[in-house]
Amino acid sequence: MYIGGLVFNKNLSSGAPSLSTNDCLRLGSTFHGLHAIATQIAPVSSGGIESLETDTFILYCFQTLTGVKFVITATPGTPDLESLLRGIYDLYVDYVLKNPFFEIDMPIRCDLFNKNLDKMVQRVALLTTRKKNP
């Protein structure tokens, strides 16, 4: 997640490359800049980059009304990334923003958020596997 800086990152797949914290910060900053530029250069009113698809991965971004960006990368053909990010946003609201000890722009350290995020990702992975192998 990216607010004004990277406040949370998590590898959700064992097959994904392992990145250092510095790599995640660099990628988050780069995407944030590209997203901002896209809003300014678009020929019509734009909220920035929503998705980027290549032969090897999909990058999907969900930006809240308050400007918090939730970004995920996945393999091509991964279904319903928008719903997944909206679900993660709901967890963020329920377990992070309602936490009286959380400070905006500070790293998220919330066990309930992590546990529920893991459960959500497992459910999505199970549903995706069932759709691919009926």
For residue 10, being part of any structural domain is answered with no
**Is there a domain that residue 13 lies in?**
no
Q: Is residue 54 part of a domain?
A: yes
The boundaries of the domain holding residue 27 are 21-132
Cα dihedral 83, 86, 87, 88 sign? positive
Per-residue pLDDT at 134: 60
67, HSE (Cβ side, Cα atoms, 13 Å): 9
Number of domains in the chain: 1
Kindly report which listed range (5-14, 74-83, 90-99, 125-134) carries the lowest average pLDDT score.
125-134
Work out the mean pLDDT of the chain and round it to a whole number: 87
CATH of residue 44: 3.30.450.70
Is 112 a domain residue?
yes
